[in-house]
Amino acid sequence: MSDCIFCKIAQKKVPAKIIYEDELAIALEDISPQAPVHTLVIPKKHIPTSLDIREEDNALLGHLFQIANRIACEKGIAKRGFRLVMNCNPESGQAVYHIHLHILGGRQMHWPPG
């Protein structure tokens, strides 16, 4: 999608600190980190919200989780614990309408979330 910031990042039209890439997805460091580790895992396919995930995307979503798990292990937060978040629509705080998994870790998380 032409006016989507994450599509532009995936197409290298906008710079970002990309730490992983394959044919289906990228992982990049969040521009405004909310924890010592705050990495985003994004499919290259433009899917606006989690409500738009279709049956045909099931393997892609599993792939995003595999990437997130690997990054959590590599960054040393897997055993301590971390949070995977996908916001959906305005009351969740979703700001970018191209699905992304937030990997948040490196500090104590709280519940309920804000």
Q: Which two tokens stand for residue 66?
A: 């595999």
- Between 78 and 84, name the residue whose CB sits nearer to ligand 5GP: 84
| Single residue of 1, 22, 24, 31 touching ligand 5GP by CB under 6 A | 31
Q: Distances in Å between the alpha carbon of 105 and those of 28, 61, 75, 113?
A: 15, 21, 9, 14
- By CB under 5 A, residue 98 contacts Zn ion: yes
Could you confirm whether 100 is annotated as catalytic?
Answer: yes
Instruction: Give the one entry of Zn ion, ligand 5GP, none that residue 1 binds, where binding means its C-beta sits below a cut-off of 5 to 8 angstroms depending on kind.
Output: Zn ion
Alpha helices, H only, 1-99: 5-10, 58-74
Binding mask 1-20 for Zn ion (x = CB under 5 A): x--x-xx-------------
Tokens 């959590």, residue located: 72
Which residues belong to the active site? 100
